[in-house]
Structure 1
Amino acid sequence: MASKREPERITDLSRLRAFMNPLRMQLYRLLYAAGTATASQLAEHVDGTPSLVSYHLRKLAEHGFVAQAEGENGDGRERWWRVASAEGWGFRESDFAGTPEGAAAVGAVTRGIHDTRVAQYRTYLDQRSAWGKEWTDAAFSSEWLLDLTPAELAKMNEELEELARRWRERGRAASADGDTENREHVSVHLYGFPFRP
Protein backbone atom coordinates (compact mmCIF):
# COMPACT_ATOMS: atom_id res chain seq x y z
CA MET A 1 0.00 0.00 0.00
CA ALA A 2 1.41 3.42 -0.97
CA SER A 3 2.12 5.84 1.84
CA LYS A 4 -0.24 8.77 2.18
CA ARG A 5 1.48 11.95 1.00
CA GLU A 6 0.49 15.02 2.97
CA PRO A 7 1.18 18.73 2.68
CA GLU A 8 4.19 19.96 4.61
CA ARG A 9 3.15 21.40 7.97
CA ILE A 10 4.81 24.75 8.68
CA THR A 11 5.73 25.22 12.33
CA ASP A 12 8.45 27.88 11.99
CA LEU A 13 7.21 31.47 12.26
CA SER A 14 9.83 32.89 9.86
CA ARG A 15 8.65 30.48 7.16
CA LEU A 16 5.01 31.38 7.71
CA ARG A 17 5.89 35.08 7.53
CA ALA A 18 7.21 34.52 4.00
CA PHE A 19 3.56 34.43 2.92
CA MET A 20 2.52 37.64 4.66
CA ASN A 21 3.34 39.35 1.37
CA PRO A 22 0.26 38.83 -0.85
CA LEU A 23 2.33 38.81 -4.05
CA ARG A 24 4.28 35.79 -2.79
CA MET A 25 1.04 33.93 -2.15
CA GLN A 26 -0.15 34.77 -5.66
CA LEU A 27 3.16 33.72 -7.23
CA TYR A 28 3.19 30.44 -5.31
CA ARG A 29 -0.35 29.61 -6.44
CA LEU A 30 0.45 30.45 -10.08
CA LEU A 31 3.62 28.37 -10.00
CA TYR A 32 1.81 25.45 -8.36
CA ALA A 33 -0.76 25.45 -11.16
CA ALA A 34 1.77 25.99 -13.97
CA GLY A 35 4.26 23.38 -12.79
CA THR A 36 7.23 25.42 -13.96
CA ALA A 37 7.62 29.01 -15.08
CA THR A 38 10.09 31.84 -15.38
CA ALA A 39 9.88 35.14 -13.51
CA SER A 40 8.98 36.85 -16.79
CA GLN A 41 6.09 34.46 -17.41
CA LEU A 42 4.78 34.91 -13.87
CA ALA A 43 5.20 38.70 -14.07
CA GLU A 44 2.71 38.80 -16.95
CA HIS A 45 0.05 37.32 -14.66
CA VAL A 46 0.63 39.58 -11.64
CA ASP A 47 1.14 42.90 -13.41
CA GLY A 48 4.67 43.18 -12.03
CA THR A 49 8.18 43.41 -13.35
CA PRO A 50 10.35 40.32 -13.83
CA SER A 51 12.91 41.75 -11.39
CA LEU A 52 10.27 42.18 -8.66
CA VAL A 53 8.93 38.67 -9.27
CA SER A 54 12.49 37.25 -9.23
CA TYR A 55 13.10 38.91 -5.87
CA HIS A 56 10.00 37.34 -4.34
CA LEU A 57 10.74 33.93 -5.87
CA ARG A 58 14.21 34.04 -4.32
CA LYS A 59 12.63 34.87 -0.94
CA LEU A 60 10.28 31.90 -1.29
CA ALA A 61 13.26 29.73 -2.25
CA GLU A 62 15.15 30.86 0.89
CA HIS A 63 12.31 29.38 2.94
CA GLY A 64 12.10 26.17 0.89
CA PHE A 65 8.77 26.81 -0.85
CA VAL A 66 10.07 27.04 -4.42
CA ALA A 67 13.19 25.76 -6.16
CA GLN A 68 14.90 26.05 -9.51
CA ALA A 69 13.44 23.64 -12.04
CA GLU A 70 16.02 21.32 -13.54
CA GLY A 71 16.22 20.42 -17.19
CA GLU A 72 13.95 23.12 -18.62
CA ASN A 73 14.59 24.03 -22.23
CA GLY A 74 15.66 27.56 -22.97
CA ASP A 75 18.63 29.68 -23.76
CA GLY A 76 19.87 29.67 -20.15
CA ARG A 77 19.41 33.39 -19.63
CA GLU A 78 16.43 33.03 -17.35
CA ARG A 79 15.80 30.72 -14.42
CA TRP A 80 12.88 28.32 -14.39
CA TRP A 81 11.11 27.77 -11.08
CA ARG A 82 8.85 25.07 -9.57
CA VAL A 83 7.18 24.54 -6.21
CA ALA A 84 9.39 22.54 -3.87
CA SER A 85 6.67 20.10 -2.79
CA ALA A 86 3.95 18.73 -5.04
CA GLU A 87 1.80 18.26 -1.94
CA GLY A 88 1.90 21.93 -0.94
CA TRP A 89 1.96 23.18 2.63
CA GLY A 90 -0.31 24.00 5.53
CA PHE A 91 -0.20 25.16 9.13
CA ARG A 92 -2.15 24.98 12.35
CA GLU A 93 -3.11 28.20 14.06
CA SER A 94 -2.41 26.62 17.44
CA ASP A 95 1.29 26.25 16.53
CA PHE A 96 1.60 30.05 16.43
CA ALA A 97 -1.09 31.33 18.80
CA GLY A 98 1.23 31.60 21.80
CA THR A 99 2.76 34.93 20.79
CA PRO A 100 1.35 38.18 19.42
CA GLU A 101 3.75 37.89 16.45
CA GLY A 102 2.54 34.39 15.67
CA ALA A 103 -1.11 35.35 15.97
CA ALA A 104 -0.55 38.36 13.69
CA ALA A 105 1.24 36.20 11.09
CA VAL A 106 -1.54 33.60 11.14
CA GLY A 107 -4.15 36.34 10.71
CA ALA A 108 -2.31 37.99 7.82
CA VAL A 109 -1.55 34.73 5.98
CA THR A 110 -5.06 33.35 6.47
CA ARG A 111 -6.62 36.57 5.17
CA GLY A 112 -4.19 36.52 2.23
CA ILE A 113 -5.13 32.95 1.37
CA HIS A 114 -8.81 33.83 1.57
CA ASP A 115 -8.36 36.98 -0.55
CA THR A 116 -6.57 35.06 -3.33
CA ARG A 117 -9.28 32.39 -3.31
CA VAL A 118 -12.04 34.98 -3.51
CA ALA A 119 -10.24 36.79 -6.35
CA GLN A 120 -9.85 33.51 -8.23
CA TYR A 121 -13.54 32.68 -7.82
CA ARG A 122 -14.61 36.18 -8.87
CA THR A 123 -12.50 35.83 -12.01
CA TYR A 124 -14.32 32.59 -12.80
CA LEU A 125 -17.70 34.23 -12.20
CA ASP A 126 -16.78 37.11 -14.51
CA GLN A 127 -15.61 34.70 -17.24
CA ARG A 128 -17.94 31.74 -16.78
CA SER A 129 -19.87 32.27 -20.00
CA ALA A 130 -16.62 31.71 -21.89
CA TRP A 131 -16.21 28.25 -20.30
CA GLY A 132 -19.29 26.78 -21.93
CA LYS A 133 -22.17 24.66 -20.68
CA GLU A 134 -20.15 21.53 -19.83
CA TRP A 135 -17.88 23.39 -17.42
CA THR A 136 -20.51 25.70 -15.95
CA ASP A 137 -22.82 22.76 -15.29
CA ALA A 138 -19.98 20.89 -13.57
CA ALA A 139 -18.84 23.84 -11.43
CA PHE A 140 -20.40 24.17 -8.00
CA SER A 141 -20.70 26.39 -4.99
CA SER A 142 -22.21 24.78 -1.92
CA GLU A 143 -22.81 25.55 1.72
CA TRP A 144 -24.05 23.14 4.38
CA LEU A 145 -25.01 24.13 7.91
CA LEU A 146 -24.12 21.26 10.25
CA ASP A 147 -24.18 20.66 14.00
CA LEU A 148 -20.81 19.11 14.88
CA THR A 149 -18.31 18.77 17.69
CA PRO A 150 -14.69 19.90 17.17
CA ALA A 151 -13.67 16.23 16.81
CA GLU A 152 -16.34 15.62 14.18
CA LEU A 153 -15.31 18.72 12.23
CA ALA A 154 -11.67 17.56 12.33
CA LYS A 155 -12.71 14.09 11.09
CA MET A 156 -14.78 15.61 8.28
CA ASN A 157 -11.72 17.65 7.26
CA GLU A 158 -9.60 14.48 7.14
CA GLU A 159 -12.17 12.75 4.94
CA LEU A 160 -12.43 15.74 2.57
CA GLU A 161 -8.62 15.94 2.30
CA GLU A 162 -8.45 12.24 1.44
CA LEU A 163 -11.15 12.68 -1.20
CA ALA A 164 -9.32 15.65 -2.75
CA ARG A 165 -6.02 13.73 -2.66
CA ARG A 166 -7.58 10.80 -4.57
CA TRP A 167 -8.95 13.12 -7.28
CA ARG A 168 -5.64 15.00 -7.51
CA GLU A 169 -3.73 11.73 -8.01
CA ARG A 170 -6.30 10.58 -10.57
CA GLY A 171 -5.81 13.80 -12.56
CA ARG A 172 -2.01 13.56 -12.35
CA ALA A 173 -2.03 9.95 -13.50
CA ALA A 174 -4.33 10.72 -16.43
CA SER A 175 -2.18 13.67 -17.49
CA ALA A 176 0.96 11.52 -17.23
CA ASP A 177 -0.73 8.95 -19.50
CA GLY A 178 -1.40 11.66 -22.08
CA ASP A 179 -5.10 12.09 -21.27
CA THR A 180 -5.16 15.88 -21.44
CA GLU A 181 -8.21 16.47 -23.63
CA ASN A 182 -10.72 18.73 -21.90
CA ARG A 183 -8.58 18.66 -18.72
CA GLU A 184 -8.22 22.02 -16.92
CA HIS A 185 -6.95 23.24 -13.57
CA VAL A 186 -9.84 23.09 -11.10
CA SER A 187 -9.88 24.95 -7.81
CA VAL A 188 -12.01 23.57 -4.97
CA HIS A 189 -12.48 25.78 -1.91
CA LEU A 190 -14.13 24.36 1.18
CA TYR A 191 -14.33 26.07 4.55
CA GLY A 192 -15.45 24.60 7.82
CA PHE A 193 -15.72 26.87 10.85
CA PRO A 194 -17.98 27.42 13.86
CA PHE A 195 -20.50 30.24 13.99
CA ARG A 196 -23.35 31.36 16.17
CA PRO A 197 -26.49 32.86 14.62
Structure 2
Amino acid sequence: MRPKHEPGHITDLSRLKAFVNPLRMQLYRLLYAAGTATASQLAEHVDETPSLVSYHLRKLAEHGFVTQASDQSTDGRERWWKVSSEEGWGFRESDFADTPEGAAAVGAVTRGMFDTRVAQYRTYLDQKSAWGQTWTDASFSSEWLLDLTPSELAEMSDELQALARRWRERGKAARAAGDTEGREHVSVHVYGFPFRP
Protein backbone atom coordinates (compact mmCIF):
# COMPACT_ATOMS: atom_id res chain seq x y z
CA MET A 1 0.00 0.00 0.00
CA ARG A 2 1.21 3.51 -0.78
CA PRO A 3 2.35 5.76 2.03
CA LYS A 4 -0.19 8.46 2.84
CA HIS A 5 2.32 11.28 2.34
CA GLU A 6 5.33 10.92 0.11
CA PRO A 7 8.24 13.40 -0.06
CA GLY A 8 7.31 16.50 -2.07
CA HIS A 9 3.59 16.06 -1.48
CA ILE A 10 1.68 19.15 -0.41
CA THR A 11 -0.59 18.80 2.60
CA ASP A 12 -0.87 22.48 3.53
CA LEU A 13 -3.64 24.46 1.82
CA SER A 14 -1.68 27.71 1.65
CA ARG A 15 1.11 25.93 -0.27
CA LEU A 16 -1.38 24.39 -2.70
CA LYS A 17 -3.04 27.77 -3.24
CA ALA A 18 0.29 29.16 -4.45
CA PHE A 19 -0.45 27.30 -7.69
CA VAL A 20 -4.01 28.57 -8.14
CA ASN A 21 -2.40 31.38 -10.16
CA PRO A 22 -1.77 29.94 -13.66
CA LEU A 23 1.26 32.18 -14.26
CA ARG A 24 3.01 30.68 -11.23
CA MET A 25 2.40 27.20 -12.55
CA GLN A 26 3.80 28.21 -15.93
CA LEU A 27 6.87 29.85 -14.36
CA TYR A 28 7.53 26.80 -12.20
CA ARG A 29 7.36 24.49 -15.24
CA LEU A 30 9.68 26.73 -17.27
CA LEU A 31 12.16 26.98 -14.40
CA TYR A 32 12.05 23.23 -13.84
CA ALA A 33 12.92 22.63 -17.50
CA ALA A 34 15.58 25.36 -17.68
CA GLY A 35 17.35 24.42 -14.46
CA THR A 36 18.12 28.06 -13.63
CA ALA A 37 16.88 31.37 -15.04
CA THR A 38 16.40 35.01 -14.20
CA ALA A 39 13.06 36.78 -13.99
CA SER A 40 13.92 38.63 -17.21
CA GLN A 41 14.61 35.38 -19.06
CA LEU A 42 11.36 33.83 -17.83
CA ALA A 43 9.43 37.02 -18.63
CA GLU A 44 10.37 36.67 -22.30
CA HIS A 45 8.79 33.19 -22.39
CA VAL A 46 5.52 34.20 -20.73
CA ASP A 47 5.18 37.66 -22.34
CA GLU A 48 4.99 39.47 -18.98
CA THR A 49 7.10 42.15 -17.33
CA PRO A 50 10.17 41.09 -15.34
CA SER A 51 8.76 42.87 -12.27
CA LEU A 52 5.56 40.80 -12.38
CA VAL A 53 7.54 37.59 -12.90
CA SER A 54 9.83 38.53 -9.98
CA TYR A 55 6.78 39.04 -7.76
CA HIS A 56 5.42 35.57 -8.59
CA LEU A 57 8.85 33.95 -8.16
CA ARG A 58 9.09 35.48 -4.69
CA LYS A 59 5.63 34.09 -3.87
CA LEU A 60 6.74 30.63 -5.03
CA ALA A 61 9.89 31.03 -2.91
CA GLU A 62 7.78 31.95 0.17
CA HIS A 63 6.12 28.54 -0.14
CA GLY A 64 9.38 26.67 -0.75
CA PHE A 65 8.88 25.78 -4.42
CA VAL A 66 11.76 27.84 -5.82
CA THR A 67 14.94 29.26 -4.37
CA GLN A 68 17.67 31.62 -5.45
CA ALA A 69 20.49 30.05 -7.43
CA SER A 70 23.14 32.29 -5.92
CA ASP A 71 25.99 30.36 -7.55
CA GLN A 72 24.74 31.57 -10.98
CA SER A 73 24.84 35.29 -10.19
CA THR A 74 27.85 37.13 -11.60
CA ASP A 75 27.06 40.78 -10.97
CA GLY A 76 24.45 40.77 -8.21
CA ARG A 77 22.04 42.95 -10.19
CA GLU A 78 19.71 40.15 -11.21
CA ARG A 79 18.64 37.13 -9.20
CA TRP A 80 18.90 33.65 -10.64
CA TRP A 81 16.25 31.15 -9.60
CA LYS A 82 15.89 27.36 -9.55
CA VAL A 83 13.30 24.88 -8.32
CA SER A 84 13.85 23.78 -4.74
CA SER A 85 13.54 20.08 -5.48
CA GLU A 86 14.15 18.17 -8.69
CA GLU A 87 11.59 15.64 -7.47
CA GLY A 88 8.80 18.17 -8.03
CA TRP A 89 5.63 18.19 -5.98
CA GLY A 90 2.20 16.61 -5.84
CA PHE A 91 -0.86 16.34 -3.65
CA ARG A 92 -3.75 14.08 -2.81
CA GLU A 93 -7.24 15.50 -3.24
CA SER A 94 -8.39 13.74 -0.08
CA ASP A 95 -6.05 15.94 2.00
CA PHE A 96 -8.13 18.98 1.03
CA ALA A 97 -11.63 17.62 0.45
CA ASP A 98 -12.92 18.37 3.94
CA THR A 99 -13.46 22.10 3.31
CA PRO A 100 -15.05 24.01 0.43
CA GLU A 101 -11.92 26.20 0.20
CA GLY A 102 -9.70 23.13 -0.09
CA ALA A 103 -11.93 21.51 -2.69
CA ALA A 104 -11.99 24.77 -4.70
CA ALA A 105 -8.18 25.04 -4.57
CA VAL A 106 -7.78 21.43 -5.73
CA GLY A 107 -10.20 22.07 -8.59
CA ALA A 108 -8.41 25.24 -9.67
CA VAL A 109 -4.93 23.70 -9.50
CA THR A 110 -5.84 20.46 -11.29
CA ARG A 111 -7.68 22.34 -14.05
CA GLY A 112 -4.73 24.72 -14.38
CA MET A 113 -2.31 21.80 -14.65
CA PHE A 114 -4.49 20.17 -17.28
CA ASP A 115 -4.84 23.39 -19.29
CA THR A 116 -1.06 23.89 -19.20
CA ARG A 117 -0.43 20.33 -20.37
CA VAL A 118 -2.98 20.60 -23.17
CA ALA A 119 -1.44 23.88 -24.34
CA GLN A 120 2.01 22.29 -24.33
CA TYR A 121 0.81 19.32 -26.39
CA ARG A 122 -1.05 21.58 -28.84
CA THR A 123 2.15 23.58 -29.35
CA TYR A 124 3.97 20.34 -30.17
CA LEU A 125 1.23 19.32 -32.63
CA ASP A 126 1.38 22.75 -34.30
CA GLN A 127 5.18 22.50 -34.62
CA LYS A 128 5.40 18.76 -35.31
CA SER A 129 6.82 19.04 -38.82
CA ALA A 130 9.71 21.19 -37.56
CA TRP A 131 10.92 18.40 -35.25
CA GLY A 132 11.67 16.01 -38.09
CA GLN A 133 10.88 12.35 -38.60
CA THR A 134 13.16 10.96 -35.90
CA TRP A 135 11.34 12.88 -33.16
CA THR A 136 7.84 12.45 -34.61
CA ASP A 137 8.39 8.68 -34.96
CA ALA A 138 9.65 8.51 -31.36
CA SER A 139 6.82 10.56 -29.83
CA PHE A 140 3.60 8.86 -28.84
CA SER A 141 0.05 9.40 -27.71
CA SER A 142 -1.73 6.43 -26.23
CA GLU A 143 -4.89 5.52 -24.43
CA TRP A 144 -5.64 2.17 -22.84
CA LEU A 145 -9.03 1.18 -21.45
CA LEU A 146 -8.43 -1.08 -18.45
CA ASP A 147 -10.59 -2.77 -15.81
CA LEU A 148 -8.94 -2.01 -12.46
CA THR A 149 -9.72 -1.54 -8.79
CA PRO A 150 -8.66 1.66 -6.98
CA SER A 151 -5.68 -0.15 -5.40
CA GLU A 152 -4.59 -1.53 -8.80
CA LEU A 153 -4.79 1.95 -10.32
CA ALA A 154 -2.69 3.30 -7.43
CA GLU A 155 -0.15 0.51 -7.96
CA MET A 156 0.02 1.31 -11.67
CA SER A 157 0.61 4.98 -10.84
CA ASP A 158 3.48 4.04 -8.53
CA GLU A 159 5.05 1.86 -11.24
CA LEU A 160 4.75 4.64 -13.85
CA GLN A 161 6.33 7.14 -11.46
CA ALA A 162 9.23 4.77 -10.76
CA LEU A 163 9.71 4.28 -14.51
CA ALA A 164 9.70 8.05 -15.14
CA ARG A 165 12.19 8.63 -12.30
CA ARG A 166 14.52 6.01 -13.81
CA TRP A 167 14.44 7.71 -17.23
CA ARG A 168 14.85 11.17 -15.66
CA GLU A 169 17.98 9.98 -13.82
CA ARG A 170 19.32 8.43 -17.02
CA GLY A 171 18.92 11.73 -18.88
CA LYS A 172 20.49 13.75 -16.04
CA ALA A 173 23.48 11.39 -15.88
CA ALA A 174 23.96 11.60 -19.65
CA ARG A 175 23.91 15.42 -19.58
CA ALA A 176 26.35 15.45 -16.66
CA ALA A 177 28.69 13.23 -18.70
CA GLY A 178 28.49 15.64 -21.64
CA ASP A 179 26.18 13.48 -23.76
CA THR A 180 23.95 16.27 -25.10
CA GLU A 181 23.89 15.45 -28.82
CA GLY A 182 20.25 15.12 -29.93
CA ARG A 183 19.00 15.43 -26.33
CA GLU A 184 15.87 17.58 -25.80
CA HIS A 185 13.40 18.16 -23.00
CA VAL A 186 10.62 15.58 -23.34
CA SER A 187 7.21 15.93 -21.72
CA VAL A 188 5.32 12.73 -20.90
CA HIS A 189 1.67 13.03 -19.90
CA VAL A 190 -0.11 9.97 -18.59
CA TYR A 191 -3.54 10.10 -16.98
CA GLY A 192 -5.40 7.38 -15.18
CA PHE A 193 -8.97 7.92 -13.99
CA PRO A 194 -12.23 6.00 -13.69
CA PHE A 195 -15.06 6.40 -16.17
CA ARG A 196 -18.32 4.68 -16.95
CA PRO A 197 -19.27 4.16 -20.61
TM-score category, normalised to shorter length:
over 0.9
Q: Which runs of 5+ in 2 are unaligned?
A: 1-5
Partner of 1:3: none
**Is 2:110 the counterpart of 1:110?**
yes
Q: In structure 2, the residue corresponding to 1:132 is in which secondary structure?
A: helix
Q: In structure 2, the residue corresponding to 1:67 is in which secondary structure?
A: strand
The Cα of 1:71 is off from its aligned counterpart by 1.1
- Alpha-carbon RMSD across the aligned residues, in angstroms, is 0.8
Partner of 2:143: 143
Partner of 1:13: 13
Q: Partner amino acid for 2:92?
A: R
Q: In the aligned structure 2, how far is the partner of 1:190 from the partner of 1:74?
A: 40
Partner of 1:194: 194
Q: In the aligned structure 1, how far is the partner of 2:72 from the partner of 2:143?
A: 42
Q: In the aligned structure 1, how far is the partner of 2:105 from the partner of 2:194?
A: 21
TM (norm. structure 2) is 0.96
CA contact (8 A) 2:30 2:42 kept: yes
Q: Which runs of 5+ in 1 are unaligned?
A: 1-5
Runs of 4+ with >3 A deviation: none
Q: In the aligned structure 2, how far is the partner of 1:165 from the partner of 1:71?
A: 26
Q: In the aligned structure 2, how far is the partner of 1:89 from the partner of 1:185?
A: 19
Q: In structure 2, the residue corresponding to 1:98 is in which secondary structure?
A: coil
**Residue correspondence of structure 1 range 145-160 to structure 2 within 5 A:** 145-160=145-160
CA contact (8 A) 1:31 1:82 kept: yes
Q: In the aligned structure 2, how far is the partner of 1:59 from the partner of 1:165?
A: 28
Identity %: 83
**Residue correspondence of structure 1 range 165-180 to structure 2 within 5 A:** 165-180=165-180
CA contact (8 A) 1:7 1:88 kept: no
TM (norm. structure 1) is 0.96
Aligned residues: 192
